């Protein structure tokens, strides 16, 4: 497997539950690969811009799975949720004061 960023991979972690390989690199990117599907990356995401990731680890407590990302200067944790859709939102330049999400199940409808 080659790195599209043309730098060295730094760490790998195996997700036993979903049979996926998590790989980190020197530029702060995480790649998720399905090794049974010709080693194509299913997800590529910059999680720590231009920072060398030293180690990644997956912790599974039976209910939640968490990806821990370690650098020389800190640690970040990400919940692993398979099958969720994501979208990067670009164009906003000011501070975000609040994000509100409505739960459709709790909304009342009038008939």
CATH number at residue 71: 2.40.10
pLDDT tens string 40-92? 677 888 898 899 999 999 999 888 889 999 999 899 999 888 776 666 666 66
Q: What percent of the chain has pLDDT over 70?
A: 80
Q: Which domain holds residue 45?
A: 9-83
pTM of the prediction? Answer: 0.70
- The beta-strand segments (E) located in the chain are 9-15, 20-25, 29-34, 40-46, 55-60, 65-70, 75-79
Taking 80 as the threshold, does the pLDDT of residue 97 lie above it?
no
For residue 105, being part of any structural domain is answered with no
**Domain total in the chain:** 1
For residue 77, being part of any structural domain is answered with yes
């Amino acid at each position: 497997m080659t790195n599209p960023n043309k730098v060295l991979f730094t760490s790998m972690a195996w997700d036993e539950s979903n049979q996926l390989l998590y790989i980190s690199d020197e530029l702060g990117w995480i790649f998720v690969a399905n090794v049974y599907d010709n080693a194509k990356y299913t997800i590529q995401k910059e999680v720590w811009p231009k920072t060398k990731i030293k180690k990644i680890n997956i912790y599974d407590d039976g209910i939640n799975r968490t990806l821990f990302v370690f650098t020389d200067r800190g640690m970040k944790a990400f919940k692993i949720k398979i099958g969720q859709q994501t979208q990067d939102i670009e164009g906003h330049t000011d501070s975000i004061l609040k994000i509100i999400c409505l739960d459709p199940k709790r909304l009342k409808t009038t008939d």
